[in-house]
Structure 1
Amino acid sequence: MTEPPSVHRASRANPLDDALHQLGEAVATLGYDEGTLQLLSAPRREISVAVPLRRDDGTIEVLNGYRVQHNYSRGPAKGGVRFSPDVSLDEVRALAMWMTWKCALMDLPYGGAKGGVTIDPSRYSARELERVVRRYTSEISPIIGPERDIPAPDIGTDAQTMAWMMDTYSATRGYTVAGVVTGKPVILGGSLGRASATSRGVAHVALAALAYKGMKPERTTAAVQGYGKVGRGAAEFLAEAGIRVVAVSDQFAAIHSEAGIDFAALGAHVDATGTVRGFRGAQEIDRDQLLTLPVDLLVPAAVEGVITDANAGDIAARIIVEGANGPTTVAADAILRDRGVLVVPDILANAGGVIVSYFEWAQANQTYRWPLALVEERLKERMLAAWEDVVKAADSHGRTLRQAAMLTAVERVTQAHESRGLHP
């Protein structure tokens, strides 16, 4: 397979700038003072670590690792671990902040955190990746734990990564600590339904957004950017609901079929080849073209900063459901608002993963496994309850869904701060 091209992000904008801008707007609207803004802007704790790796050929390489705990006023910090060559401290800071708002919006007893290692996993063997995971875990182990900070999978990591993290952390404690991570294999205490949770949540909210706009699934077309953990499941769930998904993309290519994509066939192709490229049931198109296709629903489910002021004016979709974290820049958000495009923000749309992570954490604390039907029922209930709250707030005050969601989340976190007070 050829090396994947880098994902297009105009000017490689810093996602932290967008996160801070969103926070600043919410704080100003709520009438909070400068001290509150500073309190909510600054991470409560962050760590940068060196991750030395002995490669299979015996050479030594040192990677950069990070863990940022943005806030834990509402409970332990919670957030994924990303393995990507694009990982930077500012990116992790932004993602940790968005996790704070996401957990608060979903009314979960968590604050926000995020972690990452600057590495391209495709260039390393499984044995090398295990060494990286275990060393990274040992370096951040003083600040994580089931009552402190609970990591989970993200881009470039998976259930196996979480198994290695749990084992490494448990070895330092002398006993098995199942609740230190979520997104684990089910055999190690992972929750049924966790792997598909974010995708299901995206689909639940997308269908609710269609109903809000008076649109029927069977008369709706969609495009999904990203065919990984979130995008693949979201595309399949949307298709199952009757939506004609005409385009998907991954880091290598994008494909389009006006008749709709056969996801059983595409899934088999991707499992065999590792990419959507070369799929015979659709035509290959430019990856950036997917964002501006004439579809009703667009689901950006790859990385942050892909919808910018350079392409927002060309987006034809009436509804955008953010499967990724921070896919829309502040400048693009303003353009889409002026054009009347309904944007379902990331802190609402992709919260399914952290909801079921919460269920997994609760199950670990109870040493009791919930049945799949119960997990999926409670996931749907939480997603749709949050959707109704945000829509009601937006409609009542004439705000966008993102503004309404941010105001709700920031207010809840601030109330937690005020209730706890400052330590003298």
Structure 2
Amino acid sequence: MPIDQTNAFEAMQARLRVASQLYGLDDALFKVFMAPSRSMIVSLPVLMDNGHWEVFTGYRVQHNVARGPAKGGIRYDLNVTLDEVKALAAWMTWKCAVVDVPFGGGKGGIVCDPTRLSLGEKERLTRRYIAEIMDIIGPDRDVPAPDMGTDAQTMAWVLDTYSMHVRRTENAVVTGKPLGLGGSLGRAEATGRGILITAREAMQRLGKPLAGATVAVQGFGNVGSQAARLLHEAGARVVAISDIQGAVKNDRGLDIHALLKHVAEARTVAGFRGAEPLDPKTLLTHPVDILVPAASENQITEANAAQVRAKVIVEGANGPTTPEADPILLEHGVLVVPDILANVGGVTVSYFEWVQNRQGFYWREREVNERLVDYMTHAFQATFATTDKYKTNPRIGAYILALDRVAQAMRYRGFYA
């Protein structure tokens, strides 16, 4: 039965099926991994500023907790669906296993447009959502974090709501918090820094330096902007960037610090004086050494994969490449650093934050960044060692590495009956 390439959960299952067959996963574990262990759907009545009530739909999914508490963000977006949240939860299981942190996979979402909510409406929506999922979250159960449409302030409301219900302050119930509430230094840049680390490792694998390499970045939100800045500061030449409203290019290299100032005022990269306009549709096929898709799912498909001219793709977004595009990229010699490896910097530093909360002892930013380099370098090396061992592509290699670690934990634990 053909899969829907644009359905994130079916795409995850397709990759999992290939990895499981190569790895030789037994049938019982395969069936367990193909479905989440728990999915919760909640209705969220919220009093709006105009005096009317609206009822929003929220989700929280836990895919697997064999290696530790579920871990994953909460996104606010009109396009949130249960299948999307299930896919993101599964990807979190594999991400945590690839980078070898003791978490399982979870994810949450609310169907809403956060840009149309006032601060008060967003707070009331967040608090109602946490009150509804209280029974399944907690520092030893499921630890949320920010995602699309949410931020450190949202996580502060999560912390306060949970703490009020349990009658004690529980900093470790959520990560991505403000520093004053137990957040970690280095967390805001963590996903972008992970992209820098894996891009450097990928270029070394090709026998080329990162310094001087040309880069195109799709998406200029937190992940894309931090990745662009850090790659720029590491000596790479970022020549093209797009966001939802436009794209710009400068073949000599964009001044990323000046672009960040422009975006802070204009709320878009469009109109930046240090560059010329670019058709956003052409960014993915721009001739560069490194392409960083950091926008959303299903951007590189069978329709455009053959036109990609980058030597390396470092997936900053979740699921930017469809399963049918993978073999096309492989055939054209494009080295893909898959999402479940490339963008694990965020969950890795979230783990560090959780550890610091539980210790009550906080690290300097230098220590956080050094530990992140250590974890991600080991994850990259382990992924490509697995890729070489099974003679497959890096995405399936990452899945096999994750499968091995999660399956081992489940075999040790056994099945409770």
TM-score bracket, normalised by the shorter chain, equals: over 0.9
* Equivalent position amino acid for 1:193 in 2: G
Within the candidate set 263, 268, 272, 2:261 is matched to: 268
Aligned counterparts of 1:282 and 1:116: Cα–Cα separation in 2: 36
Deviation sequence 1:175-199 (CA, Å, 0-9, x none): 1110000000010000111111111
What's the RMSD between the two structures over aligned residues?
1.2
1:82-101 correspondence to structure 2 within 5 Å: 82-101=75-94
1:208 counterpart = 2:201: yes
1:117 counterpart = 2:126: no
- Unaligned runs of 5+ residues in structure 2 are none
Within the candidate set 175, 183, 186, 2:176 is matched to: 183
Q: Secondary structure at the match of 1:353?
A: helix
* Equivalent position amino acid for 1:56 in 2: D
Within the candidate set 242, 247, 254, 2:240 is matched to: 247
Offset of residue 376 of structure 1: 0.5
Counterpart residue number, 2:411: 418
Aligned counterparts of 2:367 and 2:212: Cα–Cα separation in 1: 31
Mark the CA change 1:420 to 1:96 in structure 2 (over 3 Å): closer, same or farther.
same
Kept after mapping to 1: 8 A contact 2:5/2:324: no
Within the candidate set 41, 53, 78, 1:48 is matched to: 41
Mark the CA change 1:122 to 1:12 in structure 2 (over 3 Å): closer, same or farther.
farther
Offset of residue 12 of structure 1: 8.0
Offset of residue 33 of structure 1: 3.0
Counterpart residue number, 1:339: 332
1:297-308 correspondence to structure 2 within 5 Å: 297-308=290-301
TM-score when normalising by structure 1: 0.96
Offset of residue 91 of structure 1: 0.2
Q: Secondary structure at the match of 1:131?
A: helix
* Equivalent position amino acid for 2:74 in 1: V
1:105-184 correspondence to structure 2 within 5 Å: 105-184=98-177
* Equivalent position amino acid for 1:251 in 2: I
Counterpart residue number, 1:325: 318
TM-score when normalising by structure 2: 0.97
Q: Secondary structure at the match of 1:219?
A: coil
Offset of residue 265 of structure 1: 1.1
- Unaligned runs of 5+ residues in structure 1 are 1-10
* Equivalent position amino acid for 1:88 in 2: T
Aligned counterparts of 2:307 and 2:391: Cα–Cα separation in 1: 25
Identity percentage of aligned residues:
52
Counterpart residue number, 1:60: 53
Aligned counterparts of 1:251 and 1:144: Cα–Cα separation in 2: 33
Aligned counterparts of 1:301 and 1:116: Cα–Cα separation in 2: 19
Offset of residue 229 of structure 1: 1.4
Mark the CA change 1:335 to 1:12 in structure 2 (over 3 Å): closer, same or farther.
closer
Aligned counterparts of 1:92 and 1:254: Cα–Cα separation in 2: 29
* Equivalent position amino acid for 1:395 in 2: D
Q: Secondary structure at the match of 1:298?
A: strand
Aligned counterparts of 2:118 and 2:5: Cα–Cα separation in 1: 29
Offset of residue 374 of structure 1: 0.6
Kept after mapping to 1: 8 A contact 2:340/2:398: yes
* Equivalent position amino acid for 2:38 in 1: R
Aligned counterparts of 2:323 and 2:349: Cα–Cα separation in 1: 29
Mark the CA change 1:12 to 1:155 in structure 2 (over 3 Å): closer, same or farther.
farther
Aligned residue pairs: how many?
A: 414
Aligned counterparts of 2:394 and 2:92: Cα–Cα separation in 1: 17
1:310-321 correspondence to structure 2 within 5 Å: 310-321=303-314
1:198-237 correspondence to structure 2 within 5 Å: 198-237=191-230
Counterpart residue number, 1:291: 284
Aligned counterparts of 2:61 and 2:322: Cα–Cα separation in 1: 22
Q: Secondary structure at the match of 1:232?
A: helix
Offset of residue 254 of structure 1: 1.4
Offset of residue 45 of structure 1: 0.8
Aligned counterparts of 2:82 and 2:140: Cα–Cα separation in 1: 24
Q: Secondary structure at the match of 1:343?
A: strand
Aligned counterparts of 2:276 and 2:135: Cα–Cα separation in 1: 50
Offset of residue 282 of structure 1: 1.5
Kept after mapping to 1: 8 A contact 2:215/2:236: yes
Aligned counterparts of 2:281 and 2:52: Cα–Cα separation in 1: 38
Offset of residue 34 of structure 1: 2.6
Aligned counterparts of 2:78 and 2:219: Cα–Cα separation in 1: 17
Which range is displaced more, 198-207 or 267-276?
267-276
Offset of residue 32 of structure 1: 2.2
Kept after mapping to 1: 8 A contact 2:73/2:145: yes
* Equivalent position amino acid for 1:83 in 2: Y
Aligned counterparts of 1:181 and 1:261: Cα–Cα separation in 2: 36
Within the candidate set 350, 356, 374, 1:357 is matched to: 350
Which range is displaced more, 92-101 or 245-254?
245-254
Mark the CA change 1:395 to 1:197 in structure 2 (over 3 Å): closer, same or farther.
same
Offset of residue 398 of structure 1: 2.0
Q: Secondary structure at the match of 2:43?
A: strand
* Equivalent position amino acid for 1:173 in 2: V
Deviation sequence 1:243-269 (CA, Å, 0-9, x none): 110111122211111121111111111
Offset of residue 277 of structure 1: 1.9
Aligned counterparts of 1:35 and 1:306: Cα–Cα separation in 2: 33
Counterpart residue number, 1:36: 29
Counterpart residue number, 2:18: 25
Aligned counterparts of 1:284 and 1:128: Cα–Cα separation in 2: 37
Kept after mapping to 1: 8 A contact 2:250/2:276: yes
Aligned counterparts of 1:90 and 1:390: Cα–Cα separation in 2: 27
